[in-house]
Amino acid sequence: MTTIIEARGLTKNYGDTPALRGIDLNVQAGRIVGLIGPNGSGKTTAIKSILGLTGFDGELKVLGKDPRTERNDLMNEVCFIADVAVLPRWLKVSQALNLVGGIHPRFDRKRAEDFLARTDIRLDRRVRQLSKGMVTQLHLALILAIDARLLVLDEPTLGLDLLFRRSFYDNLLNDYFDKERTILVTTHQVEEIENILTDVIFLQHGKIKLDVAMESLGERFTQLVPMAGNVEAARALKPFYEREVFGRVAMLFDGRAAAELAPLGETRAPSVADLFVALMGGSAADGRAEGAGASKEAA
Amino acid sequence: MIHANKVMMLIRREFWENRSLWITPLVISGVLLVSAAFSGGPAGDGHGGLHFGPQVDGEVLMNPDPAKRDGIYAGYIGVLTLVQLAVLGIVVFFYLLDCLLSERKDRSILFWKSLPISDTEVVLSKALTALVLAPLIVLAVSAATQILFGAILWLRFHNSALGGWVTVWNPLVWLKVQVGSLVLVPAVVVWYLPLAGYLLLVSVWARKNAFLWAVLPPAAVLLVEAMILQSHNFADFLGRRFAGAFMIMDLPTDDGQSAPSLMVFVSHVARVFTHAETWLGVLVAIGFIVAAIRIRRYRDDS
């Protein structure tokens, strides 16, 4: 396995305000990592550090290079889509193809043209004449045609309707992703990408709250809805989160085997969204969420 | 490391975005040619003629000396280029002020930064666009305009009495004017390099209102010096920065009697290249441009 991103004690302060408080990351090739956190959690700062767009303290290697000093080399193998609004509005679609073709040594123009042919985007259009969804499609067409090892997506589908969001991720999986490539994606819409992720990282207040591979998520976390008489027995097993839904209690356990919990009620693997709410809910959540096993183990 | 092919691509991109860089000279050329076609003759009674040339009085026209008549013609077509260059100065001024700010305003800088191009390549492409490519376009358009201008004059006047007296088309004069322009423009560009570097620096540094950021600090220094020290050293300095190249050239004045020969003209213009002040300015300009490249590296408005 090749390490694509390795960070140790990654720290960044904006004046007196800490944005990242010493995070450790290890991203391997061929993974799709979701970096998930509320606004102000440090997601964007982490991504900017990885892309060499901001300075930082601590150790960080991306494809074995330091983004602060080797950014120019790094960008030959790293692509990113920052947000739907960043393609220059005066740019014509045909010019965009010429431009990226003239600049990027790993751009396959034919691939981009084939992708565009499947959309309603015409080559003589300027970006300002395209809808928001089409701008994203154009950006995706350019990116998909670049043979990069790491693709970073920061809220790539912000402001798009459901159909565009869905097809964006479908295209990403079908036309781009393979074992050699790695994708790091941030988003607010956890539920939409959780089935494509191989890893999730939760960030809160500049710290990593959870860093887990999807394949071990089901083994590690269990959701239990105990039968009426078993609530106290279930509580004795120390769930780290519980909430009440339609008069029944749902509890989340970290590190308890489903078999151990099954006699008490219904068990299932929690979704990433369930975990997100449980771990990041903060004051809205039950006090039990604080100091729960999950955050201790992740730290 | 700078990749020439990437810089070329980025320069093309500048002309896609800033179409005024090539449309403006074409529009000016069109206006000049239309006025040449429909205005009065290039002399006559000295009134109502083409006013953008040197004033010609009847006496000169009556002068049969062909060298003097060619000199007058050179003055006419040279002025066509000077008009273009004056407008180019204004266009380039605002281009340089805006070029590193607008990419942050519309956030497209994140797109540019997603491509494998260095800050050096980006800033150099903008400086080359403003200081080399845009002037070359203007010179090419001017050269063509002068030919068309000559053709219009010839069509209008070759059969008239004037045709016998003034030069209405002379390829050799045209060629000399081109050579003169090709020497004059680099001299002026080199002299103004520090100003260009300063504008790039303001552009990369300002978050908005680049024009005010460019103009207000020098204006404030002027004012403070005038009020507190009651002197005008800074004003003298600025005056020198703007007019210095022409003071150093000290071109022989054209009194309408005889235009300077090409050799004399070139030797005067070349004084700029041998003047220490010019190269001191170049060093300062390099400092400004290097600073602009450094600042762009981590400049972020989002």
- pLDDT band at residue B61, thresholds of 50, 70 and 90? low
**Half-sphere exposure for A96 (CA within 13 Å, toward CB):** 30
Are residues A125 and A87 in contact, defined by beta-carbon separation less than 8 angstroms? no
B80 vs B83: CA distance, rounded Å: 5
Is the Cβ pair B115, A90 closer than 8 Å? no
The confidence score (pLDDT) of residue B254 equals 57
DSSP bridge partners of A204: A207
State the residue for tokens 């260059």. Answer: B85
- pLDDT of residue B58 exceeding 60, the answer is no
> Quick one: DSSP state of residue A12?
E
pLDDT tens for A153-205 read 998 888 888 888 888 888 888 888 887 889 999 987 788 888 889 999 999 99
- pLDDT of residue A296 exceeding 80, the answer is no
Helix axes A109-117, A132-144, angle to 10 degrees: 150
The mean per-residue pLDDT over the stretch B162-191 comes to: 86
Amino acid at B64: P
- In chain A, how many H helices and how many E strands? 12, 13
Between residues B172 and B256, the one the model is more confident about: B172
Which of A13-27, A95-109, A158-172, B78-92 is least confident? A158-172
Are residues B110 and B289 in contact, defined by beta-carbon separation less than 8 angstroms? no
Which residue, among A14, A47, A53, A125, would best test binding to B if mutated, counting the most B CBs under 10 Å from its CB?
Answer: A53
- pLDDT band at residue B71, thresholds of 50, 70 and 90? confident
Name every residue whose Cβ is closer than 8 Å to that of residue A171 and which is 6 or more positions away in sequence: A115, A140, A144
Map A219-250 to HEC letters.
Answer: HHEEEEEECHHHHHHHHHCCCCEEEEECCEEE
Is the Cβ pair B111, A87 closer than 8 Å? yes
What's the angle, vertex CA A190, arms to CA A184 and CA A191, rounded to 5? 130
The mean per-residue pLDDT over the stretch B111-119 comes to: 94
CA dihedral A288, A289, A291, A297 (to 10 degrees): 130
Residue extents of the structural domains in chain A: 3-205, 215-298
Which of A57-66, A104-113, B58-67, B284-293 is least confident? B58-67
- pLDDT band at residue B255, thresholds of 50, 70 and 90? low
Q: What are the chain B neighbours of A85 within 8 Å (beta carbons)?
A: 106-107
- pLDDT of residue B39 exceeding 60, the answer is yes
- pLDDT of residue B28 exceeding 90, the answer is yes
The mean per-residue pLDDT over the stretch B58-85 comes to: 77
Name every residue whose Cβ is closer than 8 Å to that of residue B214 and which is 6 or more positions away in sequence: B97, B198, B199, B202
Q: What are the chain B neighbours of A103 within 8 Å (beta carbons)?
A: 6, 9-10, 115-117
The confidence score (pLDDT) of residue B55 equals 47
Q: Beta A248-254 vs A150-154: how paired, if at all? A: unpaired
Listed residue (A51, A49, A61, A52) closest to A19, CA to CA: A49
pLDDT tens for B271-297 read 999 999 999 999 999 999 999 999 999
| CA gyration radius, chain A | 21
The confidence score (pLDDT) of residue B144 equals 96
pLDDT tens for A212-257 read 999 888 889 999 999 888 888 899 888 999 888 888 889 999 988 8
Of B9, B17, B106, the CB nearest to A102: B9
- DSSP for B166-198, please give it: S-S--HHHHHHHHHHHHHHHHHHHHHHHHHHHH
Taken in order B164, B170, B176, B180, the sign of the CA dihedral is positive
The confidence score (pLDDT) of residue B251 equals 81
B77, two tokens: 């077509």
- pLDDT of residue B163 exceeding 60, the answer is yes
The confidence score (pLDDT) of residue A162 equals 87
- DSSP for chain A, please give it: --EEEEEEEEEEEETTEEEEEEEEEEEETT-EEEEE--TTSSHHHHHHHHTTSS--EEEEEETTB-TTT-HHHHTTTEEEE--TT-S-TT-BHHHHHHHHHHH-TTB-HHHHHHHHHTSS--TT-BGGGS-HHHHHHHHHHHHHTB--SEEEEESTTTT--HHHHHHHHHHIIIII--TT-EEEEE-S-HHHHTTT-SEEEEEETTEEEEEEEHHHHHHHEEEEEE-GGGHHHHHHT--SEEEEETTEEEEEEES--HHHHGGGEEEEPPPHHHHHHHHH-GGGS-GGGTT-HHHHHH-
Q: Beta A221-226 vs A199-204: how paired, if at all? A: unpaired
A273 vs A194: CA distance, rounded Å: 8
Q: What are the chain A neighbours of B10 within 8 Å (beta carbons)?
A: 103
A100 to chain B, minimum CA–CA distance in Å? 8
DSSP bridge partners of A3: A28
| CA gyration radius, chain B | 22
- pLDDT band at residue B62, thresholds of 50, 70 and 90? low
pLDDT tens for A259-275 read 888 899 999 989 898 89
A160, two tokens: 């798009």
Q: Hey, what CATH topology would domain A3-205 get?
A: Rossmann fold (3.40.50)
The confidence score (pLDDT) of residue A87 equals 93
Q: What are the chain B neighbours of A100 within 8 Å (beta carbons)?
A: 115
A7 vs A46: CA distance, rounded Å: 10
A&B contacts, CB < 8 Å: 71
Is the Cβ pair B107, A83 closer than 8 Å? yes
- In chain B, % of residues over pLDDT 90: 63
Residue A13 phi/psi, 5-degree rounding, is -120, 140
The confidence score (pLDDT) of residue B70 equals 80
- In chain A, % of residues over pLDDT 90: 53
Max intra-chain CA distance, chain A: 70
A221 to chain B, minimum CA–CA distance in Å? 37
Mean pLDDT score of chain A = 87
Question: Alpha carbon B19 to chain centroid distance?
Answer: 17
The mean per-residue pLDDT over the stretch B117-142 comes to: 96
B209 to chain A, minimum CA–CA distance in Å? 20
Between residues B200 and B252, the one the model is more confident about: B200
Listed residue (B221, B272, B213) closest to B247, CA to CA: B272
Q: What is the pTM of this model?
A: 0.87
Tell me if residue A154 falls in helix, strand or coil. strand
Which residue, among A99, A136, A184, A186, would best test binding to B if mutated, counting the most B CBs under 10 Å from its CB?
Answer: A99
Mean pLDDT score of chain B = 86
Residue extents of the structural domains in chain B: 4-298
- pLDDT of residue B42 exceeding 60, the answer is no
Which residue is closest to A56 within chain B, CA to CA? B298
- pLDDT of residue A286 exceeding 70, the answer is no
The confidence score (pLDDT) of residue A156 equals 86
Which of A43-47, A190-194, B161-165, B205-209 is least confident? B161-165
The mean per-residue pLDDT over the stretch A8-14 comes to: 93
Is the Cβ pair A87, B108 closer than 8 Å? yes
The confidence score (pLDDT) of residue B37 equals 84
Q: Beta A199-204 vs A207-213: how paired, if at all? A: antiparallel
**Half-sphere exposure for B161 (CA within 13 Å, toward CB):** 5
Of B6, B111, B118, the CB nearest to A88: B111
B46 vs B57: CA distance, rounded Å: 6
- pLDDT of residue A115 exceeding 80, the answer is yes
Q: Beta A248-254 vs A241-245: how paired, if at all? A: antiparallel
Maximum average pLDDT range among A194-203, A205-214, B102-111, B130-139: B130-139
- pLDDT band at residue B301, thresholds of 50, 70 and 90? low
